[in-house]
């Protein structure tokens, strides 16, 4: 199957996904389950990575700024900007593409090869809508919160690294964080993370739903899903940056 066919099939899938859920209560239960599986269970890894990335960015900035004419608050300013603009929305999304993407593909793919999806269809249930819509809604509403958390912890990680290494003073770092704060940059990050959340929920679902074969094919589909989700995030990141900041 060529790429154009995959794209067409993906959009046909979305047409079935975005139908009214057949039963509100069942949809609500599924949504809460997805919030837990895709969102709450990802807090730990996102927080851990954001904290250390923030620390590394601040240390590297401090070590590379030797010119006395460059103000000391630059470390805090640079850490804040890189966390808000790139590391929190894009880096966190790439991490989630790996963690959540493989989970989505393998769980839906296993349902496919063990005929659980056929069982849903035979019951008269729109399986695409039942399985994928809650994932999309959960991701779109929860991932911006994760990105906020990543921003905060990244900046805090930068401050902590500075305090532990003694490379810069707390007061300079905080002055850098407060300097030239542009709320649109946070909006930009949230817009990006919402788009990425959609990609993270749908691309792996597509790979899992249409898998054919057995356990080996489910494994392969998971790998492909992570690769394609990451590629999509990187490409969309470029276009969104161009559109929103260019």
In the complex, the smallest distance separating the C-beta of residue 224 from other proteins, rounded to whole angstroms, is 22
Residues between 165 and 204 with contacts to other proteins, criterion CB under 8 A: none
Nearer to other proteins, 25 or 67 (CB): 25
In the complex, the smallest distance separating the C-beta of residue 216 from other proteins, rounded to whole angstroms, is 17
Residues between 67 and 126 with contacts to other proteins, criterion CB under 8 A: 110-111, 114-116, 118-119, 121-126
Please tell me the distance from the alpha carbon of residue 52 to that of residue 221, in angstroms, as a whole number.
31
Does the protein bind other proteins through residue 64 (CB under 8 A)?
no
In the complex, the smallest distance separating the C-beta of residue 120 from other proteins, rounded to whole angstroms, is 9
Nearer to other proteins, 23 or 145 (CB): 23
Please tell me the distance from the alpha carbon of residue 97 to that of residue 91, in angstroms, as a whole number.
10
If you write DSSP's letter for every residue of the chain in order, what string do you get?
--HHHHHHHHHHHHHHHTS--S-HHHHHHHHHHHIIIIIGGGHHHHHHHHHHHHHHHHHHHHHH---TTS-TTHHHHHHHHHIIIIIIIIIHHHHHHHHHHHHHHHHHHHHHHTTHHHHHHHTT--HHHHHHHHHHHHHHHHHHHHHHHHHHHHHHHHHHHHHHHTSS-HHHHHHHHHTT--HHHHHHHHHHHHHHHHHHHHHHHHHHHT--SSHHHHHHHHHHHHHHHHHHHHHHHHHHHHHHH-
User: Which of the ranges 19-27, 161-169, 200-208, 228-236 carries the binding residues for other proteins, by CB under 8 A?
Assistant: 19-27
How many residues lie near other proteins (CB under 8 A)?
18
Site string for other proteins, 22-41 (x = CB under 8 A): xx-xx------x--------
Tokens of 228: 């394609």
Nearer to other proteins, 128 or 146 (CB): 128
Nearer to other proteins, 96 or 111 (CB): 111
Going by C-alpha positions, the residue among 75, 88, 107, 62 that lies closest to residue 201 is: 107
Nearer to other proteins, 119 or 235 (CB): 119
Nearer to other proteins, 31 or 236 (CB): 31
Nearer to other proteins, 23 or 41 (CB): 23
| Interacting residue ranges for other proteins, rule: CB under 8 A | 22-23, 25-26, 33, 110-111, 114-116, 118-119, 121-126
């Amino acid at each position: 199957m060529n790429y154009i066919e995959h794209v067409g099939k993906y959009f046909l899938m979305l047409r079935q996904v975005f139908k009214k859920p057949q039963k509100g209560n069942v949809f609500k239960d599924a949504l809460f389950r997805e919030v837990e599986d895709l969102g709450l269970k990802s807090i730990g890894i996102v927080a851990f990575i954001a904290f250390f990335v923030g620390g590394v960015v601040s240390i590297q900035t401090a070590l590379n700024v030797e010119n006395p004419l460059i103000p000391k608050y630059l470390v805090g300013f640079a850490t804040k900007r890189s966390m808000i603009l790139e590391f929190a929305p894009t880096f966190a999304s790439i991490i989630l593409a790996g963690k959540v993407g493989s989970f989505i593909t393998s769980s839906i793919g296993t349902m496919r090869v063990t005929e659980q999806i056929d069982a849903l269809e035979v019951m008269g249930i729109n399986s695409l809508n039942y399985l994928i819509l809650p994932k999309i809604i959960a991701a779109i509403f929860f991932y911006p919160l994760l990105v906020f958390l990543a921003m905060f912890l990244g900046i805090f990680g930068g401050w902590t690294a500075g305090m532990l290494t003694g490379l810069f003073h707390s007061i300079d770092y905080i002055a850098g964080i407060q300097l030239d704060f542009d709320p649109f940059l946070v909006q930009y990050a949230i817009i990006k993370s919402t788009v990425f959340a959609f990609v993270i929920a749908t691309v792996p679902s597509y790979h899992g739903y249409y898998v054919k074969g057995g356990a080996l094919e489910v494994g392969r589909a998971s790998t492909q899903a992570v690769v394609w989700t990451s590629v999509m995030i990187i490409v969309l990141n470029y276009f969104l940056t161009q559109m929103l900041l260019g």
